[in-house]
């Protein structure tokens, strides 16, 4: 089975491609390669690579492809707000162009990486469900993800199966590690500075999931019978996978003793608080999706990884681990223009 993975050289993509290769899939990578010099370790690149902007995808790129896993995007709220029009072009318009070309070229499955940010501000008394819960995206990033889901499902057919996965906030080791995500940030803070800075009062809720478990969910979208996934959306997380920010910080502190917790109260009111239900993915895809990672195991993995590469405060705070910083660096050096195209 030939799998085209867009965004294959990113935080999730490098891990997902390794897992796909281990399971015998043929991988074709597609990535504009903004983060080409952000590797912290080597990773498997022994497959065909298309180095190209997702906005420039062509029919030829989809030739002999059986399934697409579409990860490529401006991948969080800070990046999305860099230029909302660009976010619309990359996350929404290019996604629909890719899907329409895939359908035209006879691709059988399209696995879309959506986001739980589409729920927006919510009542934390309820766990958000895929269909029943209100969608209230408030950022440019979230709006493009929700709008793309809606339009993609209109393309779903008996020969072109669309499935949308909405991952919790990802954590865990990757060759292209991100430290601009909450749990990785806390463990990196503890490791490099001996303290964890929490910008709120610690009460906001965050669902989290390990990078290998979310990759397993995408692979479930390739393996599961079509009638279980076609036209469906799934929240992706672990059982009992909702944590307060303070609980995440304490989990990081458990691995690195004598760490100080500092509440800066920089964000007096953090509206990004939500709980998510993961019942649907376990009920419908439980045979194919079996997460293996919890916070404790992930924190130990991060600690061991940091030790093995002599991780430093400079690396932690630098552009290699922070996506917006890397794009700003590329623009400052005139390597990419304001439209995020390579010069």
Within a domain: residue 92?
A: yes
Cα angle 311-316-317, degrees, rounded to a multiple of 5 = 145
Answer left, alpha or beta for residue 128, where phi above 0 means left and psi between -120 and 50 means alpha: beta
Helix axes 245-255, 182-193, angle to 10 degrees: 40
Within a domain: residue 342?
A: no
pTM higher than 0.75: yes
Q: Are 229 and 221 in contact (CB under 8 A)?
A: yes
Within a domain: residue 187?
A: yes
Within a domain: residue 315?
A: yes
Domain count, the chain: 1
Within a domain: residue 337?
A: no
Helix axes 295-308, 182-193, angle to 10 degrees: 50
Within a domain: residue 16?
A: yes
Residue 40: which residues within 8 A CB-CB, separation 6 or more?
175, 176, 177, 309, 311, 315, 320, 321
Helix axes 211-223, 11-22, angle to 10 degrees: 50
pLDDT of residue 125: 81
CATH of the domain at 45: 3.40.50.720
Neighbour tally for 211: CB within 10 Å: 27
> In 3-state terms, what secondary structure has residue 198?
strand
Within a domain: residue 64?
A: yes
**pLDDT tens-digit profile, the chain (343 residues):** 999 999 999 999 999 999 999 999 999 999 999 999 999 999 999 999 999 999 999 999 999 999 999 999 998 666 667 788 999 999 999 999 999 999 999 999 999 999 999 998 777 788 999 999 999 998 899 999 999 999 999 999 999 999 999 999 999 999 999 999 999 999 999 999 999 989 888 988 999 999 999 999 999 999 999 999 999 999 999 999 999 999 999 999 999 988 999 988 776 555 668 899 999 999 999 999 999 999 999 999 999 999 999 999 999 999 999 999 999 999 999 999 999 999 9
pLDDT of residue 62: 98
pLDDT of residue 175: 98
Instruction: Find, among 342, 218, 232, the residue nearest to 284 by Cα.
Output: 232
Enclosing domain of residue 244: 2-332
Helix axes 140-155, 94-104, angle to 10 degrees: 20
Within a domain: residue 341?
A: no
Phi, psi of 81 (to 5 degrees): -85, -5
pLDDT of residue 267: 61
Instruction: Find, among 342, 339, 337, 330, the residue nearest to 88 by Cα.
Output: 339
Distance CA 66, CA 213 (A): 23
């Amino acid at each position: 089975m030939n799998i085209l993975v867009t965004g294959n050289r990113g935080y999730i993509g490098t891990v997902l491609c390794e897992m796909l290769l281990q399971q015998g899939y043929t991988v074709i990578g597609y990535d504009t390669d903004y983060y080409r010099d952000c590797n912290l370790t080597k990773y498997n690149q022994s497959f065909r690579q298309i180095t190209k902007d997702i906005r420039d995808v062509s029919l030829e790129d989809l030739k002999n492809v059986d399934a697409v896993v579409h990860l490529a995007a401006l991948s969080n709220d800070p990046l999305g707000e860099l230029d909302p029009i660009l976010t619309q072009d990359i996350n929404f318009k290019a996604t629909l162009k890719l899907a329409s070309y895939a359908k035209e070229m006879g691709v059988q499955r399209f696995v879309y990486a959506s986001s739980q940010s589409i729920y927006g501000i919510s009542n934390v008394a309820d766990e958000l469900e895929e269909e029943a819960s209100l969608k209230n995206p408030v950022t440019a990033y979230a709006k493009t993800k929700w709008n793309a889901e809606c339009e993609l499902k209109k393309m779903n057919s008996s020969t072109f199966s669309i499935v949308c996965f909405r991952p919790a906030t990802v954590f865990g080791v990757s060759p292209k590690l991100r430290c601009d995500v909450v749990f990785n940030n806390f463990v990196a803070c503890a490791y490099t500075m001996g303290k964890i800075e929490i910008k709120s009062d610690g009460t906001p809720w965050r669902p989290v999931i390990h990078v290998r478990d979310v990759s397993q969910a995408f692979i479930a979208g390739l393996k599961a019978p079509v009638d279980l996934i076609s036209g469906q959306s799934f929240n992706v997380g672990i059982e009992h996978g909702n944590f307060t920010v303070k609980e995440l910080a304490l989990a990081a502190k458990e691995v690195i003793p004598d760490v100080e917790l500092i509440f800066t109260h920089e964000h007096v009111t953090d509206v990004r608080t939500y709980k998510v239900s993961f019942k649907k993915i376990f009920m419908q895809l439980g045979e194919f999706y079996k997460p293996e990672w919890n916070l404790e195991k992930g924190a130990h993995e991060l600690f061991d990884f940091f030790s093995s590469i002599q991780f430093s405060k400079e690396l932690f705070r630098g552009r290699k681990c922070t996506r917006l910083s890397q794009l700003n660096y590329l623009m400052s050096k005139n390597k990419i223009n304001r439209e995020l195209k390579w010069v």
